[in-house]
């Protein structure tokens, strides 16, 4: 396909490298379609609202004001940087099959752009949580400093203490202080509890479109975090990393829920309504929060039964938590996947889900 391109040299080189021989960049007179790269409002201001040839915008900005303005242009579709070869070619082929669809632009694409912009602009994690994300259990002295910081934060401390006393941790006696919680559960668990509590605020809205309450959804994430941690321990993966991935795996829902207009039961229904799903949006958010790449990728794949060990742990932890009826079967499948005795796996998971104390 012959395409004319208006935009930066960097993107142009990218297209030449990625898309040859499917797409060839040619002068405008010879082109069948055109790509216009949009890097900001000033570019849009110079463009006409309609175009003589099929036109696709390549969006290379996250500015909300730009995305709002794109609606008024009569384009055939919108692509995002970095361009994904398969997606772009598929869309171009589909369009070629429906000649003359040039009209009000691709509403899915605009929706997608808005969602991406919202995900990019999600409020930052609280300072302490941001530091905790970077921290590993090896930094023992630093961990202790954080416990001191947690103690100074009244609100955070009281939420952690409340959580420690909830059935999740199954402690026999009421815990009244962070110091006591640290003694009983260990400094690392207190650190992870602080992280869990720091994500609660993102769920403080109406999740009726997901047929769940914000509180329940957060509790699901918290349970998946602990399952991930438990499975990681069993199979020799980094427990803290998996805890973090588990805790944040459904974060995409906190953005998508603001755009859904009908109830959804699965990711396919999200994509049908919005052109994007919560796993993809979750990856964007976690990238934004500088979470390590293997974890952001695991979040993107958390509904797929494939991928590396980290992704698989998250996949099974989520499945085991959600699907109570099939729990036994899923535990067996997980045990098989990780080459672990299924009785042992069932016992670890059973303890975590029933909130029994760890024997340590």
Residues that bind Fe ion (CB under 5 A): 250, 318
At its nearest, how many Å lie between Fe ion and the CB of residue 267?
7
Q: Least distance (Å) from Fe ion to the CB of residue 278?
A: 6
Of 92 and 217, CB closest to Fe ion = 217
Half-sphere exposure of 93 (CA within 13 A, CB side): 7
Q: How far is the CB of 154 from Fe ion (least distance, A)?
A: 31
Closest separation in Å from C-beta 317 to Fe ion: 9
Nearer residue to Fe ion within complex by CB, 110 or 314: 314
Q: Alpha helices of 47-177 — where are they, by DSSP H? A: 64-70, 85-97, 107-120, 127-134, 140-152, 154-164
Q: How far is the CB of 319 from Fe ion (least distance, A)?
A: 9
Alpha-carbon span 160 to 157, nearest angstrom: 5
Q: How far is the CB of 231 from Fe ion (least distance, A)?
A: 15
Cα angle value 171/172/175 (rounded, 5°) = 65
Tokens standing for 326?
Answer: 């099939």
Helix (H, G, I), strand (E, B) or coil at 204: coil
Q: DSSP letter at 30? A: G
User: Which CB, 60 or 318, lies closer to Fe ion?
Assistant: 318
Nearest distance in Å: CB 333, Fe ion: 17
Among residues 91 and 302, whose Cβ is nearest to Fe ion? 302
Q: Residue 231 and residue 313: Cα distance in Å, rounded? A: 7
Q: Which is nearer to Fe ion, 191 or 302 (CB)?
A: 302
Rounded CA gap, 59 and 71, in Å? 13
Helices within the chain (DSSP H only): 9-19, 41-46, 64-70, 85-97, 107-120, 127-134, 140-152, 154-164, 178-185, 187-199, 214-235, 239-248, 252-256, 267-274, 278-288, 293-300, 309-322, 327-338, 342-354
Q: Which two tokens stand for residue 360?
A: 């340590």
Question: Which CB sits closer to Fe ion, 181 or 248?
Answer: 248
Closest CB to Fe ion among 240 and 250? 250
């Amino acid at each position: 396909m012959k395409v004319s391109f208006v935009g930066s040299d960097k993107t142009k080189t990218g297209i030449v490298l990625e898309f040859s021989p499917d797409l060839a960049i040619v002068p405008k007179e010879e082109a069948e379609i055109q790509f216009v790269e949009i890097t900001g409002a000033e570019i849009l201001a110079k463009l006409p609202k309609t175009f003589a040839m099929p036109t696709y915008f390549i969006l290379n900005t996250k500015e909300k004001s730009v995305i709002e303005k794109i609606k008024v242009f009569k384009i055939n579709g919108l692509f995002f940087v970095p361009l994904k070869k398969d997606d772009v070619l598929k869309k171009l082929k589909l369009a070629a099959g429906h000649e003359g669809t040039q009209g009000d632009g691709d509403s899915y694409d605009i929706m997608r752009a808005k969602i991406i912009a919202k995900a990019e602009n999600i409020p930052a994690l609280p300072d302490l949580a941001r530091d905790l994300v970077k921290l590993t259990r090896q930094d023992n002295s630093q961990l202790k400093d954080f416990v001191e910081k947690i103690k100074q934060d009244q609100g955070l401390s009281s939420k952690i203490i409340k959580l420690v006393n909830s059935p999740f941790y199954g402690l026999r006696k009421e815990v009244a202080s962070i110091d006591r919680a640290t003694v009983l559960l260990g400094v690392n668990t207190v650190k992870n509890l602080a992280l869990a509590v720091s994500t609660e605020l993102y769920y403080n809205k109406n999740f009726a479109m997901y047929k769940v309450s914000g509180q329940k959804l957060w509790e699901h994430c918290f349970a998946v975090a602990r399952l991930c941690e438990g499975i990681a321990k069993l199979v020799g993966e980094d427990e803290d990393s998996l805890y973090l991935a588990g805790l944040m795996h459904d974060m995409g829902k906190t953005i998508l829920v603001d755009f859904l207009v009908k109830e959804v039961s699965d990711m396919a229904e999200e994509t049908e309504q919005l052109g994007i799903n919560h796993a993809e949006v979750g990856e964007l958010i976690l990238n934004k929060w500088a979470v390590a790449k293997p974890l952001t990728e695991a979040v993107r794949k958390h509904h797929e039964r494939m991928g590396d060990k980290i992704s698989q742990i998250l996949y099974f932890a989520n499945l085991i938590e959600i699907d109570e009826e099939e729990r036994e079967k899923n535990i067996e499948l997980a045990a098989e996947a990780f080459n672990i005795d299924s009785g042992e796996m069932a016992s670890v998971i059973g303890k975590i889900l029933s909130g029994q104390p760890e024997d340590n």
